[in-house]
């Protein structure tokens, strides 16, 4: 089990982006040098965290889950951001083809058993991809609501450190950062989507929706499962 320390976690300030940058720099070049990766969906908000990381270390491994069910707009957004930010080590992670052939031969498992579909296409492939790392970075925020409302900046999940450097950032701060740095915006952000994952399980926002309400609408879930481990202990932000 990894030791959990709080000394490397900057105190949150009035500028969450600056706090995030300090946390990332300390982890990438210090505590977890050579043993940390960023996971990115290249979704609606992904440009902010990718930009922060690229400024610190553009060769940091970036793990991208291509589930085979993504929007074409997401794949194009990925390619734009990789070129713009100069990311040097984007690793495309795919599901096990034999497992998919056995469990989802027609590609419609998302309709009958979305939980199993997420496990095959996301949880299991990411678990394999993270096996060589002691820590990973992701872009979850408290403003997403649901299970993320009390998110810590740093957690330990089943023996691996998990950093949430944007945990304290608001929707307005994310948007302002994108504007300030003139970052490319996901095409679907202008088409009514607040959050996008796989095409069958992502919908446009409705009036009054929280960020992730369009994901798995009507299914009583807001997470695919990669952020819902069986054993978790959070450290203070």
Is residue 224 flagged as an active site residue? yes
The b/e string for 184-220 (b: 16+ C-beta within 10 A; e otherwise) is ebbbbbeeebbbbbbeebbbeeeeeebbbbbbbbeee
Q: Is residue 183 part of a domain?
A: yes
Structure tokens at 2: 């990894």
Whether 5 is covered by a domain: the verdict is no
Task: Report yes or no on 94 lying in a domain.
Answer: yes
As for how many domains the chain has, the answer is: 1
Q: Output the DSSP codes for 56-112.
A: H-TTS-EEEE--S-B-HHHHHHHHHHHHHHT---EEEE---HHHHHHH-TTS-HHHH
Question: For residue 44, what are the domain limits?
Answer: 16-235
Is 1 inside a domain boundary? no
Q: Tens-digit pLDDT profile for the chain (237 aa)?
A: 343 343 344 444 457 788 899 999 999 999 999 999 999 999 999 999 999 999 999 999 999 999 999 999 999 999 999 999 999 999 999 999 999 999 999 999 999 999 999 999 999 999 999 999 999 999 999 998 888 889 999 999 888 999 999 999 999 999 999 999 999 999 999 999 999 999 999 999 999 888 888 888 888 887 887 776 644 434 444
Structure tokens at 185: 């915006």
Kindly state the tokens that stand for 29: 């070049």
For residue 9, is it within any domain? no
Beta strand pairing status for 135-137 and 62-65? Answer: unpaired
In a domain, 129, yes or no: yes
Q: Considering 117, 118, 201, 224, which one is annotated as catalytic?
A: 224
Q: Is residue 133 part of a domain?
A: yes
Residue 7 lies in a domain: no
- CA distances from residue 19 to 13, 14, 58, 149, 168 in whole angstroms, order as listed: 6, 9, 19, 19, 9
Scan for tokens 């369009």, then name that residue. 214
Q: Beta 135-137 vs 160-163: how paired, if at all?
A: parallel
* Stated pTM of the model: 0.88
CATH number of domain containing 187: 3.40.50.620
- CA proximity to 42, closest of 236, 192, 206, 183: 183
CA 158 to chain centre: 18
């Amino acid at each position: 089990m990894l030791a959990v320390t709080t000394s490397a976690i900057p105190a949150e300030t009035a500028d969450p982006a600056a706090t995030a940058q300090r946390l990332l720099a300390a982890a990438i070049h210090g505590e977890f040098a050579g043993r940390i990766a960023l996971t990115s969906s290249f979704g609606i908000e992904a440009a902010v965290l990718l930009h922060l990381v690229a400024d610190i270390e553009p060769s940091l491994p970036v793990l991208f889950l291509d589930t085979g069910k993504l929007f074409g707009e997401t794949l194009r957004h990925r390619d734009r951001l990789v070129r713009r930010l100069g990311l040097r080590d984007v690793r495309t992670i795919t599901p096990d083809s034999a497992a998919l052939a056995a469990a989802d031969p027609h590609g419609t498992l998302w309709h009958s058993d979305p939980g199993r579909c997420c496990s095959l296409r996301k949880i299991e492939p990411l678990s394999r991809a993270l096996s060589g790392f002691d820590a990973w970075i992701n872009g979850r925020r408290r403003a997403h609501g649901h299970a993320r409302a009390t998110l810590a900046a740093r957690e330990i999940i089943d023996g691996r450190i998990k950093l949430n450097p944007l945990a304290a950032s608001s929707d307005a701060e994310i948007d302002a950062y994108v504007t300030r740095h003139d970052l490319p915006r996901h095409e679907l952000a202008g088409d009514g989507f607040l959050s996008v994952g796989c095409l069958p399980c992502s919908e446009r926002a409705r009036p009054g929706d929280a960020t992730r309400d369009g994901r798995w609408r009507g299914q009583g879930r807001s997470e695919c499962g990669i952020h819902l481990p069986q054993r978790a202990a959070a450290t203070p932000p």
